[in-house]
Structure 1
Amino acid sequence: MNDYDEPDAPADPRDPAHQAWNTTEAAAAAHVDPKTIQTWVTRGKLTPIGEQRGQHLFNGADVLAVEKATRRRPRLAALLAESRALFRHGDAEP
């Protein structure tokens, strides 16, 4: 180790990337129903990282990333529909 190397910082236990959540915990963190978590697994959007006491475990950062991607899609669709309506309205005026 030279003067420029810094020791690795210990993992922050509050960081979702370092947390393993069961289905119920993942659903609560993502503000969705536990069935939605299972739907994400079925659709291949979320992959369990293990199992504990018969329940899937998920990486917290992965859960939040899927939630963000899923939440963003309807907002983009709404913005697109709104912009199309504005363009149609603008074309009708002289």
Structure 2
Amino acid sequence: QFESILDSTSIIQKSKIFISSDTAMIHLSDAANTPILGLFSGDNKNLDRYKPFWTTHKIIQSDSLSIENIDPEAVFLEYKKLVVN
């Protein structure tokens, strides 16, 4: 359990990669320079507006408005690529 956003940020800074759906935590990871694997819906306007900008990242975008359609195997493969590099 995290007690504050500072606790969360501290853990993110120590991480090799941060995997998340489109949340504020992606932006904390971006600010902490932690590589990001972001899971976004098929809403291109949302992706353009809220994707990370500064940090190494890979976005996996659903083909629908729900991220439930994202294949877990695709997430794992991109994770391996980011961690190895």
On whether the aligned pair clears a TM of 0.5, the verdict is no
TM (norm. structure 1) is: 0.22
Which structure has the greater CA radius of gyration? 1
Q: Please, what TM-score do these two structures have when normalized by structure 2?
A: 0.23
Larger relative helix fraction: 1
Whichever structure has more strand as a proportion of its residues is 2
